[in-house]
Every structure is written in structure tokens, then in C-alpha cells.
């Protein structure tokens, strides 16, 4: 007697790898043979995964066009079967696929656009948190500021990009004239975050990008000021760091501030 678990395993191998061993467990008729019955499920499985990719990467799909995106989706599904309980997370390696596959790596803007849209989805789906307010710092003594560490909202992403994908994404979503693809003279950092149900993004100056990376890694406010000394005069570092911190708080990026020994 064949165990249900064995049938399920064989069916999964058929869906994900095209293994035909499941055919012996399926009844066919003259009108609807076994291969036809299985193809209904197999084709439906792949189609659903491609539809999921289109939902997560709508601008990439628009830029490529329906036919080319379907081709991309089919190739990605073949290379990366879904390993997730939730289909929402399918597509996590699409940017990597575009950057390394021979047919797509010659157009690096596509990989960056995929990274941008994946970050957008991650920001939107991140867990809700309660941002800290500026008033929470009112009682701090001046000497305590240097020991502050900050907890960041999970709805924050920082990307380093070379191409003008932010402008392209905006033009496609707002149905305005698309800019010509262009590459910057040096990589630019972008901040993406969610406040309530609205996603925001903006470019970062080099010093702010440096501070955000350090703060998210657990560096103290005093250490952030020290890092800024490489960009501004020492007597200006604390003031500029405080200005950045206030902006992060007002944007809802900071959810926790703790004093460390």
C-alpha cells in the first residue's frame, strides 16, 4: 500500500522538478490522459508563482513587457522553486538571478530595479512598531547622550544603487515620461521607510548613510559623532549628528533609545 506521504512527496517532486514518478499514482481516461491531468496542476503552479512575482515586481514587469516578464518568471521558477510557506516571500533571489544570469546581467539596471521593488515590499510588510518621540529625550543630561544606542523600525531599508531606478520607478508608477537609463558617477545610498501605511524614500548624503549604517549596527551616539569627524570639523560633529537624529525620530525610524554603561 502506498503511503499518503509518499504520494505527496512524489507530487511535490513533479511540481518542482518535473519528476514523472507520480504518473503511476494518477488515473487517466481516454479523454483526459494522465499527462493532461498533471499538466493542469503543473502549469497552474508555475503560473501562480509567476503571478506572484508580477505582484511583487510590478514596475519590472512593466519595463520588460508581458511576454519578456513571463519568460523571466518561467526561467526563475525553474531555477528557484518556492521554498517558502507563504508565497509573499517568493522572489527573494530575483535580483541575484538578474545580476548573474547571462541573458540579463548585461542590463544591470534590471537587477537594481528588482532590489528596489523587493525593498519596497519588505518595508510595506514589516512589523508595526511604535516610534519614539522627541520628548523622550527631554530629561537626558548632556553627559548621557554619548552613551545612547538606538533601536530602529523594521520598516527601514537602505540601498546602495548605481542606476536611476528610483526615478524610473516613480515615472512608471505615476505614468509619467520615463527617464533614460543612466548610471551615477558613484553609487548613491537611498533610505526607504514606512510611516503608517505610506512608503517614503529619499537619497542619503554620504555622511548620513554612514551614520545610519553605524547606528543600526548598534554604535552609540558618541561613536556616531566620532565617525562624523571625518566629514566635518570636530566642533560641528555633535550638532550635525543631533540634526540627523531628530530627522530620524520625526520620520518614525527610531523605536527605542537606551543608555549603555
Please tell me the CATH code under which domain 118-261 is placed. 3.90.930.50
Euclidean distance between CA atoms 146 and 224, whole angstroms: 9
DSSP letter (8 states) at residue 258: E
Residue position matching grid coordinates 509518499: 6
pLDDT at 17: 59
Q: Give residue 86's pLDDT.
A: 81
The residues, any chain, with a CB within 8 Å of residue 29's CB and separated by 6 or more, are none
Torsion angle defined by CA atoms of residues 82, 87, 93 and 94, in that order, rounded to the nearest 10 degrees: 110
Domain boundaries, the chain: 1-106, 118-261
Alpha helices in the chain (DSSP H): 4-17, 34-56, 58-64, 66-79, 94-100, 108-125, 165-174, 206-216, 221-228, 234-250
Note the pLDDT of residue 1: 45
List, in order, residues 6 or more apart from 114 with CB less than 8 Å away.
57, 60, 94, 95, 98
pLDDT for residue 39 = 56
Dist CA 8 CA 6 (whole Å): 5
Residue 76 CA to residue 53 CA, distance in Å, equals 10
Burial 98-108 (b: 16+ CB within 10 A, else e): bbebeebeebe
Tell me the C-alpha distance between 24 and 34, whole Å.
9
What's the pLDDT at 128?
94
CA distances to 5, 146, 213, 218 from 204, in Å: 52, 23, 11, 19
35: number of Cβ within 10 Å: 12
How does pLDDT run across 42-66, given as a tens digit for each residue?
Answer: 556 778 889 999 999 999 999 999 9
Which residues in the chain come in under a pLDDT of 50? Answer: 1
Predicted pLDDT at 58: 97
pLDDT of 175: 95
Q: What is the pLDDT of residue 196?
A: 85
Element (H, E) at 231: none
CA distance 186 to 163: 10
Amino acid at each position: 500500500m502506498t503511503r499518503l506521504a509518499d504520494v505527496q512527496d512524489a507530487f511535490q517532486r513533479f511540481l518542482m522538478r518535473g519528476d514523472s514518478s507520480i504518473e503511476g499514482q494518477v488515473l487517466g481516461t481516454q479523454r483526459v490522459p494522465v499527462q493532461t491531468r498533471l499538466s493542469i496542476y503543473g502549469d497552474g503552479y508555475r503560473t501562480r508563482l509567476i503571478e506572484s512575482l508580477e505582484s511583487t515586481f510590478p514596475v519590472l514587469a512593466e519595463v520588460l513587457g508581458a511576454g519578456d516578464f513571463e519568460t523571466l518568471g518561467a526561467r526563475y521558477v525553474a531555477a528557484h522553486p518556492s521554498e517558502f510557506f507563504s508565497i509573499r516571500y517568493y522572489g527573494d533571489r530575483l535580483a541575484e538571478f538578474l545580476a548573474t544570469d547571462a541573458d540579463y546581467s548585461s542590463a544591470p539596471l534590471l537587477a537594481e530595479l528588482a532590489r528596489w521593488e523587493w525593498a519596497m515590499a519588505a518595508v510595506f510588510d514589516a512589523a508595526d512598531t511604535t516610534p519614539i518621540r522627541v520628548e523622550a529625550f527631554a530629561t537626558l543630561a548632556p553627559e548621557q547622550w554619548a552613551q545612547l544606542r538606538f533601536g530602529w523600525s523594521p520598516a527601514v531599508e537602505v540601498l546602495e544603487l548605481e542606476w536611476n531606478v528610483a526615478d524610473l520607478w516613480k515615472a512608471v508608477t505615476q505614468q509619467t515620461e520615463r527617464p533614460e537609463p543612466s548610471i551615477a558617477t558613484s553609487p548613491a545610498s537611498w533610505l526607504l521607510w514606512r510611516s503608517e501605511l505610506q512608503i517614503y524614500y529619499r537619497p542619503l548624503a554620504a555622511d548620513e548613510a554612514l551614520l545610519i549604517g553605524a547606528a543600526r549596527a548598534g554604535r552609540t551616539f558618541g561613536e556616531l559623532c566620532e565617525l562624523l569627524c571625518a566629514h566635518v570639523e570636530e566642533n560641528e560633529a555633535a550638532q550635525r549628528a543631533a540634526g540627523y537624529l531628530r530627522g530620524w525620530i520625526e520620520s518614525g525610524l527610531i523605536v527605542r533609545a537606551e543608555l549603555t554603561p
